[in-house]
Amino acid sequence: MNARLACVIVLLACLPGLSNAQTNAARGEYLVRAGGCMSCHTADPARPFAGGRPIATPFGNVFAPNITSDRDTGIGAWTDPQFIRAMREGIGRNGERLYPAFPYTAYTLLSDDDLLAVRAYLATVPPVRAAPPRNTLSFPFDQRWLMTLWNLFNFSPGRFVPDPSKSAEWNRGAYLAEGLGHCGECHTPRNWLGGLNRSERLGGATIAGWRAGNLTPERVAGIGAWRDDELVRFLSTGAAPGRAYALGPMAEVVATSTQFLTTADLRAVIAYLRGVPPIAVKDARVRTSFGRPARTDVTAIDSEGARLYAAACGSCHGTTGEGSKPFPSLVRDGVTGALGTATTSNLVLVILHGVNRQTRDADAQMPAFGPQMTDEQIAVLSNFITRQFGDPRATTDAKAVARLRSIAQ
């Protein structure tokens, strides 16, 4: 859709009889895709943008609101100034402070034209009458007025200002990555108040239990060793064999957002990321320095981990772990290697919840084993996989699995 949608927008602008509102809404659809709005605001795929999805935070769950054109429970009755204020300042229609689970801290950079185009598109979304559940934030974080103080320390409002010393491509990438795409919201660590730790910008962070990768040009734990075509492929399909696979929240970002971007916009984002300061990760190792295919069929190994692997994983990923199309290899990949860091969280969450990543060119399906396996079994299986195919430093136990199982996804 990326190239096709861009062509449609151009054609619509050239056709007689079409209003500015129609062409603006078409452009707004592309911007909504780029902003990843569907991912957070859709709990039921049959009712896109109707809200209700829990967003896990260290302080409790925030439920995404309905942003369809419904006038009572959505944003159909909002004025353009009210919409722009919410997007840029984090202030709702009735003056209430919004929680930064909604990334107004990034959307503040967006231009008037883009915000009005987004608004125009959302006005075309069929109305769905649906009110989200109440947030489950603990005291005192459930007090919205405290957001005024939070903003003083963690929010810098203002529009994006191009850097005249940089190329047009770099500036476009900065606008997309820092503003519309709000990459830092998941890929930057947070301080104790939940604000972004700017000194480690884009250096990787944990979101809903998942480890979001290091997007800086650091060569061991970041994207410094990736080729541009590998990054374009990853953002377009979610699969870059030998590098990483999009899982969890990132799989949704690819499926609902980045796969629809034009190649020019993807390359602009990559150009921008190439220029951010590299962030090294303590104890990170080059992924090729660990993990190997099984020397023998794992079914011949006498251990509980091997038996669990043979029953749950072997038929797709192979009895040596090397996989076979369309099933990826587990040897030194982005799950067992966790991008060079010693953590099993992504692997455990994949086993618990499976994979459902749908793109134009590379759908990925894996069943969820959480309902069938105990926490102890998942810990044993994870440890076998990382010891056999990934980083042997990465280990887990039943208690850690139970904690990850409890996080809302």
C-alpha–C-alpha distance, residues 376 and 175, integer Å: 45
Report the mean per-residue pLDDT for the chain: 88
Q: Are 201 and 276 in contact (CB under 8 A)?
A: yes
Q: Is the preceding peptide bond at 392 cis, omega within 30 degrees of 0? A: no
C-alpha–C-alpha distance, residues 287 and 342, integer Å: 11
Q: Which residue is it, tokens 């984002």?
A: 269
The predicted pLDDT at position 288 comes to 61
Quick one: tokens of 362? 């590379």
The predicted pLDDT at position 14 comes to 45
**For residue 117, what are the CA distances in angstroms to 24, 87, 330, 387?**
5, 13, 43, 50
Report the number of secondary-structure helices (H) and strands (E) in the chain: 17, 8
Q: Which residue is it, tokens 């598109």?
A: 121
C-alpha–C-alpha distance, residues 62 and 46, integer Å: 21
Q: Are 332 and 291 in contact (CB under 8 A)?
A: yes
Torsion of CA 258, 264, 269, 272, to 10 degrees: 180
Q: What is the mean pLDDT of residues 358-374?
A: 88
The predicted pLDDT at position 127 comes to 96
The predicted pLDDT at position 387 comes to 86
Which position has the higher pLDDT, 396 or 283?
396
C-alpha–C-alpha distance, residues 101 and 119, integer Å: 20
The per-residue pLDDT for range 331-347, each reduced to its tens digit, is: 766 554 444 457 889 99
Task: Count CB atoms within 10 A of the CB of residue 22.
Answer: 14
- Give the single-character DSSP code of 402: H
pLDDT interval class at 360 (50, 70, 90):
confident
The per-residue pLDDT for range 1-44, each reduced to its tens digit, is: 444 455 544 444 444 544 566 678 899 999 999 999 999 999 99
3-state secondary structure of 258: helix
Task: Count CB atoms within 10 A of the CB of residue 153.
Answer: 9
The per-residue pLDDT for range 255-314, each reduced to its tens digit, is: 999 999 999 999 999 999 999 999 988 777 766 666 666 666 676 677 899 999 999 998
The predicted pLDDT at position 243 comes to 84
pLDDT of 187 > 80? The answer is: yes
Which of 187, 201, 261, 268 lies closest to 228, judged by CA?
268
3-state secondary structure of 257: coil
The predicted pLDDT at position 361 comes to 76
The predicted pLDDT at position 234 comes to 94
Reported pTM: 0.88
The predicted pLDDT at position 148 comes to 94
Please state the length of the chain.
Answer: 409
- Phi and psi angles of residue 230, each rounded to the nearest 5 degrees, phi first: -70, -40
Domain residues of the chain, as ranges? 168-274, 291-405
The per-residue pLDDT for range 189-200, each reduced to its tens digit, is: 999 889 999 999
Query: What pairs with residue 211 in β-bridges?
Result: 206
Class of the domain covering 291-405: mainly alpha
User: Crossing angle, helix 263-274 and helix 2-14, to 10 degrees?
Assistant: 120
